[in-house]
Structure 1
C-alpha cells in the first residue's frame, strides 16, 4: 500500500512539472496583454503621485512621472502625425506673413492710380484736379530723365503749371514734403513767354491749350515731360494727354514725343495707358 501511494504521488508531481512551463507561458501572455492595454490608454496625470501598475504588487509602484502635466498619446500605426515646426521656422513663417501684408497693401496703393482709371466728375474740378495731381505724382515713378536734368544732388524737380492756379495749389498740397529720388518737388505757375529752363514737368490746362501751341516749339530740345488735358487728338509736343471717358480719367501717351525730348517711359506706364501713339 505504501509503495502504491508513493508511486501515485510521483506520477502527480511528474504531471505538474510537465504542465508548469505551459502555465508560465500563459501567465506571461496575460501580463503582456494587460500591460499593452494599460500603456495604450490616453491619461492625464499630475506629477508627484506614484502611478501604480496593474501588475505591481502591494507596496510596489512604478517610476513617478516628470513634475508636469503629461498626456500620453496613443500612436497610430503608420505614423500619420502632423508635421511639427521648429521655433525658428515658425518665427520665419509668422514674420513673413505679417510683413507681407503691409508691403502688399503699400504696393496696391502705389499702383492703384496706374492700373485703373479713376472716377472723376466731368464738371467739378474740385474732384478732377486731385485725381490728376495724384496721376502726376505717380508718373514720376515711371519716367527717367537724363542725368543732366539734375546736375546737383539737391536740384529740385520743378513742375510748371500753365493756365490754372487752382491746379497748381492742389498739386502743391499733394506734393508737400515729398521728393523724387531725394529731389524735392517745386511748383511754378507760368505764363506764355516765361523761361522754362530748369523745368522737368509742364502741366497745361485745357484753358491754356492755345497758349501752349505758341510755346511748344521751344520745348523740342528740352527734356520736359509735357502733360496736357486737351479734348480730341494729342496736341503736338505733348507726351501725356489726359482724357475722360464715361466720367473716368485716363491718359494717352505719345511715345514718339517722349523719345524726341530724350525721356524714357517705363513699360509699366505704357501698359496701363488707354492708348500709346508712335510706338
Structure 2
C-alpha cells in the first residue's frame, strides 16, 4: 500500500509536472524536495550501505539553499529508513551519505564533487544543465514551468545504486538505458 502511494505521489509529481511559476502556491524548492524524497524511495543501495532495515538514510545537501531544502525534508522517511539530513561543504564529508543533492553554481566544482563520489554507492541528484554529463545520476530541470527529471543510468549502475523501473519510466530522458 505504501509503495502504491509513493508510486502515485511520484507519478503526480513527474507526470503532471507540478508547476513552479510565481503565481502557484508551491515554491520550486518544495517541489524539488518532494522529488528528492521520492528519488530516495525508488533507489536501492548495495550491501552494506543500508543493511539495517530501520537505519537512517543519510541525505546530504550541498550549495546555496541547502539548508532550506533540508528543512523541507525534516521528519520524512524513505520506506522504513528515516531521513538524516546533513548540510556539507566539502566532498570529504559525503562518505556517510546515501544521497547527495548538489546545487553548485560552478561547473568545475560540481564536476570535481561528482568525480570524487563516482566510486561510492551515493545517489547523486542535481539541477544543472551539465549534471548528467558530469557523471550525476538524476538531474531535475524546469520544463515549461514544471519540474521534470532525467536519469544517467550508466552512472547509477557504476555506483551500484539501482533505480526502480517505474521511476525510470517517468523520466523525461534516460541516458545509458532504454530510451523513452
Alignment TM-score, normalising by the size of structure 1: 0.55
Counterpart position of 1:204: 102
Q: Counterparts of 1:182 and 1:267 in 2: how far apart (Å)?
A: 20
Return the match for 1:136 from 33, 36, 45. 36
1:196 Cα deviation (Å)?
Answer: 1.4
Q: Counterparts of 2:140 and 2:49 in 1: how far apart (Å)?
A: 25
Q: Counterparts of 1:195 and 1:256 in 2: how far apart (Å)?
A: 24
Question: Which is strand-richer, 1 or 2?
Answer: 2
Return the match for 1:156 from 56, 67, 77. 56
Counterpart position of 1:47: none
SS of aligned partner of 1:207: coil
Two-structure CA RMSD over aligned residues (Å)? 2.6
1:209 Cα deviation (Å)?
Answer: 3.6
Counterpart position of 2:70: 171
Describe the superposition over 1:99-125 as per-residue Cα deviations: whole angstroms up to 9, x where unpaired.
xxxxx9887446311333221138x9x
SS of aligned partner of 1:148: coil
Question: Contact 1:145/1:223 (CA < 8 Å) preserved in 2?
Answer: yes
Q: 1:107 to 1:148 in 2, by over 3 A?
A: closer
Q: 1:235 to 1:161 in 2, by over 3 A?
A: farther
Question: Contact 2:104/2:110 (CA < 8 Å) preserved in 1?
Answer: no
Counterpart position of 2:166: 268
Question: Contact 2:11/2:170 (CA < 8 Å) preserved in 1?
Answer: no
Matched, 1:225 2:128: no
Describe the superposition over 1:199-242 as per-residue Cα deviations: whole angstroms up to 9, x where unpaired.
01111114254312122222122111101111256232200011
Equivalent residue pairs, number: 172
Question: Contact 1:258/1:264 (CA < 8 Å) preserved in 2?
Answer: yes
Q: Counterparts of 1:232 and 1:211 in 2: how far apart (Å)?
A: 12
Q: 1:190 to 1:244 in 2, by over 3 A?
A: same
Question: Which is helix-richer, 1 or 2?
Answer: 1
Gaps of 5+ in 1: 1-103
Describe the superposition over 1:241-262 as per-residue Cα deviations: whole angstroms up to 9, x where unpaired.
1111222210110111110001
Matched, 1:253 2:180: no
Counterpart position of 1:278: 176
Q: Counterparts of 1:109 and 1:224 in 2: how far apart (Å)?
A: 23
Q: Say which one has the larger Rg.
A: 1
